[in-house]
């Protein structure tokens, strides 16, 4: 079911021509800075992968991938990617990327089961990135270092936008606030996970919530994660808390709520993979192509994630709807309401 947030007194700061130029400027500038910060080389990515190899991202496990038969492969089924979380790790191995270096790519996906609204579209565009690491770097402290570098690239991009368009004012917090999902639950025990996100992000401006997918003190999870890419169960010795992954949230002053810009984390090693498959009741995946290679030690240890391109542009250009940034399909009633609110969907 679609859901439209109606920002109060919404006014476009850029017309459609300026918006299109701004989108290109942001994408060009940010990806160069991201590549420099994390030492990433660009690679070409697939739009679809073969079904049954364990390569596609299963997200929370409920979303249905768009699929189609391939005539020249005996009608074998291909799936449009949800993201490239696992494909990137295979690519690190193929390119023999050494620890300290990595890859990034423009990821385009179709998520047919998204609930359409200001922040969610059928079409997903991300910078998907992955970096080889050492075993010693599989810590929350290292995760924080990488998040801080990504945030630095975001702040530089914001400065560029404000210089190019003086009517857009700076809003990003100077620093990013880190908090574990369990600490957040203990701070706001009577709130839902989404309400906690809004509470802490409104207070701090920019927040990274650690431990997405791990079981919290109340027996629940902050949010669901597929069991075969992010490591959300390994205990960090420095903190005693589970989970080596998280979500980067920024307060959106137009929509008056927290917006997730990136989901990322240190990836599972063979031990964490087996444990998380068992916990989730997905042990049959051990026989899939990706999982076999990981369990055989043929894939590097890595950290990686996705950064929403349209969401980042939406945030920096002070837009109220993701449809002002990208071309997609929307319910007719939503298009009509958006037009009345001054949000011109492409």
Examine residue 233 and state whether it is found in any structural domain, yes or no. Answer: yes
Phi then psi for residue 113, to 5 deg, are -95, 10
Handedness of CA 132, 282, 213, 244 (dihedral sign): negative
Domain that holds residue 99: 16-341
CATH (domain of 272): 3.30.930.10
* Tens-digit pLDDT string for the chain (346 aa): 568 999 988 999 999 999 999 999 999 999 999 999 999 999 999 999 999 888 887 766 677 888 999 999 999 999 998 889 899 999 999 999 999 999 999 999 998 888 999 999 999 999 999 999 999 999 999 999 999 999 999 999 999 999 999 999 999 999 999 999 999 999 999 999 999 999 999 999 999 999 999 999 999 999 999 999 999 999 998 889 999 999 999 999 999 999 999 999 999 999 999 999 999 999 999 999 999 999 999 999 999 999 999 999 999 999 999 999 999 999 999 999 999 999 999 9
Query: What pLDDT does residue 83 have?
Result: 81
Measured distance CA(302)–CA(207) in Å, rounded: 23
Query: Which residue from 182, 308, 180, 300 is spatially nearest to 246, judged by alpha carbons?
Result: 180
Examine residue 60 and state whether it is found in any structural domain, yes or no. Answer: yes
- Active-site residues, by number, are 57, 111, 126, 247, 260, 263
Examine residue 213 and state whether it is found in any structural domain, yes or no. Answer: yes
Q: Are strands 245-252 and 48-50 parallel, antiparallel or unpaired?
A: unpaired
Number of domains in the chain: 1
Examine residue 302 and state whether it is found in any structural domain, yes or no. Answer: yes
Examine residue 11 and state whether it is found in any structural domain, yes or no. Answer: no
Query: What pLDDT does residue 60 have?
Result: 67
165: which residues sit within 8 A by CB, 6+ positions away?
13, 14, 18, 22, 317
Q: At what angle do helices 16-38 and 140-164 cross, to 10 degrees?
A: 150
Measured distance CA(138)–CA(300) in Å, rounded: 12
294: which residues sit within 8 A by CB, 6+ positions away?
89, 268, 270, 273
Examine residue 309 and state whether it is found in any structural domain, yes or no. Answer: yes
Angle subtended at Cα 42 by Cα 127 and Cα 308, rounded to the nearest 5 degrees: 5
Measured distance CA(92)–CA(308) in Å, rounded: 21
Query: What pLDDT does residue 1 have?
Result: 57
DSSP calls for 217-262 = TTS-BSS---TTSB--SPBPTTT--B-SEEEEEEEETTTTEEEEEE
Query: What pLDDT does residue 55 have?
Result: 86
Examine residue 9 and state whether it is found in any structural domain, yes or no. Answer: no
């Amino acid at each position: 079911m679609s859901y439209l947030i109606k920002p109060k007194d919404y006014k476009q700061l850029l017309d459609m021509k300026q918006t299109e130029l701004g989108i290109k400027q942001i994408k060009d500038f940010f990806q160069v800075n991201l590549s420099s910060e994390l030492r990433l080389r660009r690679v070409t990515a697939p739009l679809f992968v073969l079904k049954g190899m364990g390569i596609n991202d299963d997200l929370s496990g409920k979303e249905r991938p768009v699929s189609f038969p391939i005539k020249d492969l005996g009608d074998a089924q291909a799936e449009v990617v949800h993201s490239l979380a696992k494909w990137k790790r295979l690519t690190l191995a193929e390119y023999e990327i050494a620890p300290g270096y990595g890859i990034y790519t423009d990821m385009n996906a179709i998520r047919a089961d998204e609930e359409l609204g200001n922040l969610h579209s059928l079409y997903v565009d991300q910078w998907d990135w992955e970096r080889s690491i050492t075993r010693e770097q599989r810590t929350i402290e290292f995760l924080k270092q990488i998040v801080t570098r990504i945030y630095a690239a975001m702040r530089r991009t914001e400065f560029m936008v404000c210089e190019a368009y003086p009517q857009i004012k700076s809003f990003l917090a100077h620093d990013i606030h880190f908090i574990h999902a369990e600490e957040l639950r203990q701070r706001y025990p009577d709130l839902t996970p989404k309400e906690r996100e809004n509470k802490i992000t409104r207070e701090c401006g920019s927040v990274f919530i650690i431990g997405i997918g791990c079981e919290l003190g109340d027996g629940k999870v902050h949010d669901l994660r597929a069991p075969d890419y992010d490591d959300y169960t390994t205990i960090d010795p420095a903190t005693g808390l589970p989970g080596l992954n998280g979500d980067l949230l920024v307060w959106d002053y137009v929509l008056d709520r927290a917006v997730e810009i990136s989901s990322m984390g240190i990836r599972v090693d063979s031990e964490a993979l087996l444990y998380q498959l068992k916990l989730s009741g997905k042990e049959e995946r051990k026989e899939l192509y990706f999982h076999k290679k990981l369990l055989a030690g043929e894939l590097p240890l890595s950290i990686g994630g996705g950064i929403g391109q349209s969401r980042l542009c939406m945030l920096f250009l002070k837009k109220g709807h993701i449809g002002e940034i990208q071309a997609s399909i929307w319910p007719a009633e939503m298009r009509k309401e958006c037009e009345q609110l001054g949000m011109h969907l492409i």
